[in-house]
Amino acid sequence: MEFQHIINEIKKVDPEMPERLSDRRTAMKSFAGIGAKIGLAALPFFIGSIFKKAYAQAGPSQNVVLDVLNYALTLEYLEAEFYAMGIAKGTALVPAGAPAAAIKTIGDHEAAHVQFLKTAITASGGTPVAKPTFDFTAGGTFANVFSDYATFLAVAQTFEDTGVRAYKGRAAEITKGGDLLTAALNIHSVEARHAAHIRTMRKANGFGDVKPWITGKESGIGSVVQASYDGEELSTQAGINIVNINGAMISASAATEAFDEGLTKEQVLAIVGPFIVQ
Amino acid sequence: MIQKSSEALSRRAFLGMAGAATGMMVLASSCSKNDDDNMMNNGVDLGSGDVGILNYAYALEQLEAAFYTRVAQSPYNGISASENALLTDIRDHEIAHREFFKSALAGAAISNLEFDFSAVDFSSRASVLATAKAFEDLGVSAYNGAGKLIVTPDYLTLAGKIVSVEARHAAYIRDLISNGSFADNTVVDMNGLDTSRMPADVLAVAAGFIKTKINASNLPR
């Protein structure tokens, strides 16, 4: 029977597995009967509930995992639709060639993140949140976001840098989260790659004096996006001052650039709030 | 053990997200393995648990810092002012990371490692940037892969603060080599996920540049 095979596979990596399940010994003994009664289709769910309890101490609770994943999904919806709408404007917005190719690369990744997270949420026993309705002008603040290249890239940079901070800010909640944590980290670093490239594009076009990394809490955009950069000026990590650390000539700027900072859920929701109609 | 088998379970439950990366292997095999220090000892012991992971990160940051220190000391032929400035920034970031781990680990920190950059032609832009790209992508994958081995939430947050900066470096270096390759399909899979590698795989690649023998056998898996 397939189920017994799974048990044997688990025993290979965790010989103590039967002991972990000892309080469910009765259930273990009557698997065959249960299988016949509840039917094969229902088995995966049944198995999932057994192991969820037995291995609960191994990582974050299902509720926390699902909350983090749905939070991430909301941000990915925002980014994916933003790039899709920008790309739809064609060369009237983003110049052909390298710029258009880069925006397409990034947009494709964001769309892939949406699909991946939806699948992961469902596989984890949750329901993916619905896509909100967005207003990328943020109520008129960025009125020309899809007609002016500089504004488009400014909003893109803000979304990417905010995205990096958003994933980082909640990673600790899914400590010991296994492959789900790894997946979140693998998205996080892709967002950082995007951010670096968008920043390089803005610099190359003279839209902002920025580097691929964040210096102090400078956005190179203006006060309107400052909330996405506040806190990045931190130059002390785990109580250790990074400036000129251990006699090395590390400037205050380099000390802030060397570490990106997280944002809390509340901070991120306040930042993206103006872009969400409902 | 608990963690390991729960990972095996979730791995089964998930899609094929094990994005294996390949590019680095060429580099690894082209570098001679150092056996000078193999004699009677097992090398520098990274330790176990979170301390082991932090020492592992410290070892990688030592490698990167040493490399960019050489790059900044003798800039490659034809380097632009902008490249020189940003590569010097990266050197400073890697030194900041290295010294941070040294201070944070204090008495538990491994000793200073010795490196072998004989495979790198520091006068050549192509050689320096190819090595930088390899190190940055490796660093990103190392932090991404080690994340699930970390037990203390605060350490995971710290690793997160560093890995995104490494990813910014990687993107910049990649764009210098070929504009637009900041997140190409050699590092990002069809799900839009970056690469992650476990310590044994990372150290096998890095060993080509590290003279000091490293014992990672006590690291969590």
pLDDT tens-digit readout, A61-107: 999 999 999 999 999 999 999 999 999 999 999 999 999 999 999 99
Q: Please state the pTM of the whole predicted model.
A: 0.82
Residue pointed to by tokens 């102090």: A216
Confidence at residue A103, expressed as pLDDT on a 0 to 100 scale: 98
Buried b (16+ CB within 10 A) or exposed e, A216-240: eebbbbeeebebbbeebbebebeee
Of A78-82, A132-136, B7-11, B95-99, the one with minimum mean pLDDT is B7-11
C-alpha–C-alpha distance, residues A178 and B148, integer Å:
5
Residue A93 near chain B (CB below 8 Å): no
Hey, how many other C-beta atoms are within 10 angstroms of the C-beta on A61?
12
**Residue B154 vs residues A169, B34, B161: alpha-carbon distances, Å:** 11, 35, 11
Residue B13 near chain A (CB below 8 Å): yes
Distance CA A84, CA B81 (A): 36
What the block records as the tokens of B81 is 């002012």
Residue for token pair 């012991």: B45
Asked if B196 and B149 count as a contact pair (C-beta separation under 8 A), the reply is: no
CA A274 to chain B, closest CA, distance in angstroms equals 26
pLDDT number for residue A12: 53
Angle at A150 between CA A146 and CA A156, to 5 degrees: 70
Q: Does A257 touch chain B (CB under 8 A)?
A: yes
CA-based nearest residue in chain B for residue A184: B193
For A27-74, the pLDDT digits (tens) are 334 333 333 444 444 444 444 444 444 444 478 999 999 999 999 999
- Is there a contact between A130 and A89 (Cβ–Cβ < 8 Å)? no
Span A241-253, pLDDT tens digits? 999 999 999 999 9
* Cβ pairs bridging A and B (under 8 Å): 248
Judge contact between A196 and A257, C-beta under 8 A.
no
B163/A189 Cβ within 8 A: yes
Q: Inspect the interface and report whether the beta carbons of B180 and A261 lie closer than 8 Å.
A: no
Would you list the DSSP string of A111-140?
HHHHHHHHHHHHHTT--PPPPPPB-TTTTT
Verify whether the Cβ–Cβ distance A189 to B4 is below 8 Å.
no
Residues of A in contact with B186 (CB under 8 A): none
Asked whether the predicted pLDDT for residue B16 surpasses 80, the reply is: no
Which of the residue ranges A131-135, A227-231, B21-25 would you say has the lowest mean pLDDT? Answer: B21-25
Q: Tell me, what's the pLDDT at A189?
A: 98
C-beta separation of B204 from B33 below 8 A: no
The pLDDT value given to residue B34: 41
Say what the ipTM of the complex is: 0.83
Which pLDDT value is given to residue A265? 98
- Band (pLDDT 50/70/90 cuts) for residue B42 is confident
| pLDDT digit string, tens, across residues A213-238 | 999 999 999 999 999 999 999 999 99
DSSP labels for A188-254? HHHHHHHHHHHHHHHHHTTS----SS--TT--SS-GGGGGGTTTTT--EETTEE-TTGGG----HHH
Tell me the residues of chain B between 163 and 182 that have a Cβ less than 8 Å away from chain A.
163-172, 175, 179-180, 182
Chain A residues closer than 8 Å to B196 by CB: 182, 185-186
The dihedral formed by the CA atoms of B5, B7, B12 and B13, expressed in degrees to the nearest 10: 120
Q: Residue A127: which region, alpha, beta or left (left: phi > 0; alpha: psi -120 to 50)?
A: beta
Closest approach of chain A CAs to the CA of B128, in angstroms?
19
Shortest distance between the Cα of A228 and any Cα of chain B, in A, equals 15
Calpha distance A20→B4 (Å, rounded): 14
Output the pLDDT for position B28: 36
**A152-181 confidence digits (pLDDT tens):** 999 999 999 999 999 999 999 999 999 999
CB contact under 8 A, B161 and A261: yes
Give A140 to chain B, closest Cα distance, Å: 31
pLDDT at position B174, please? 98
User: Alpha-carbon Rg of chain A, whole angstroms?
Assistant: 23
Average pLDDT (B43-64) is 97
Cβ-contact A176, A58 below 8 angstroms: yes
Residue A134 phi, psi (nearest 5): -105, 155
> A258, B144: Cβ pair inside 8 Å?
no
| 3-state class (DSSP) for residue B121 | coil
Q: Does A55 sit within 8 Å of B157, measured CB to CB?
A: no
In the stretch 153-192 of chain A, residues with CB closer than 8 A to chain B read 164, 167-168, 171-173, 175-183, 185-192
